């Protein structure tokens, strides 16, 4: 029997409800025992072969699915094992687990000490600009990215950070590939700025067809900035 086939059969047996109940009743760490058993068996079956990455992926996959079981919802159905490698599936499951476990905190409390800014009315224009770019950089370090800012003055953007972004309660996810994007063109629910300055022609026409709303003319944003970017 191939090692991976044997492992999959072992997973089915060891992850049964009866097996879990025995471990719980006897206060034995299931995964420490399971990983030991699997690796010991593989060393016996394949004494002259290096440990397979696929076996490690399968072990990790079982751990992740066990951790996610109490949190199960329709998201798990997005994992299509027929088109994803086990490594890719594990990456997706890890992102789900990190999302579920991440604390919800005001963004200002993602920083130690807490990130606090002076009130906009207490700053002159140069101070606003200095604080603005310093704060944008610090937010980017926490993977908070500001999108669609070029129609705003420095003071307007500073006010959005001060009033809306820093107090906002969000999931603090530490995953390197995860970014929180803040849409600065739609802060009041009015799509005019996005349609005027940022939407391409296809997006504009689609919006007009769906809403039958007023389509503003295209214009160049008046305050272009070179701020940190990240993929959506």
Q: Catalogue the long-range contacts made by 22-27 (C-beta closer than 8 Å, 24 or more residues apart).
A: none
The four Cα atoms 73, 76, 78, 80 give a dihedral, to 10 degrees, of -150
pLDDT at 144 over 50: yes
pLDDT digits (tens, 9 = 90+) for 146-180: 999 999 999 999 999 999 999 999 999 887 778 99
Model pTM score: 0.66
Rounded to an integer, what is the distance from CA 126 to the centroid of its chain? 35
Average pLDDT of every residue of the chain: 79
Cβ neighbours around 132 below 10 Å, total: 23
The DSSP line for 86-129 is: HHHHHHHHHHHHHHHH--EEEGGGGSSS------GGG--HHHHH
Nearest to 168 by CA among 99, 104, 102: 104
pLDDT digits (tens, 9 = 90+) for 5-56: 555 555 555 544 444 444 444 444 555 555 555 555 555 555 555 456 777 7
């Amino acid at each position: 029997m191939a090692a991976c086939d044997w492992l999959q059969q072992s997973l089915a047996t060891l992850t049964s409800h009866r097996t879990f109940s025995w471990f719980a009743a006897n206060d034995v760490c299931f995964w420490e025992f399971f990983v030991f058993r699997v690796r010991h068996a593989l060393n016996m079956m394949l004494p002259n072969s290096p440990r397979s990455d696929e076996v490690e992926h399968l072990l990790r996959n079982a751990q992740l699915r066990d951790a996610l079981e109490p949190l199960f919802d329709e998201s798990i159905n997005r994992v299509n094992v027929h088109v994803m490698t086990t490594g890719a599936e594990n990456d997706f499951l890890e992102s789900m687990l990190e999302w579920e476990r991440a604390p919800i905190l005001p963004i200002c409390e993602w920083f130690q000490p807490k990130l606090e800014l002076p009130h906009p009315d207490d700053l002159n224009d140069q101070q606003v600009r200095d604080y603005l770019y310093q704060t944008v950089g610090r937010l980017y370090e926490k993977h908070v990215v500001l999108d669609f800012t070029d129609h705003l003055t420095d003071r307007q953007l500073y006010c959005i950070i001060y009033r809306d972004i820093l107090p906002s309660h969000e999931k603090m996810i530490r995953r390197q590939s995860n970014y929180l994007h803040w849409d600065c063109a739609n802060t009041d629910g009015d799509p005019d700025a996005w349609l005027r300055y940022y939407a391409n022609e296809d997006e504009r026409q689609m919006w007009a067809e769906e809403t039958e709303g007023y389509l503003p003319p295209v214009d160049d944003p008046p305050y272009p900035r070179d701020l940190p970017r990240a993929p959506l």
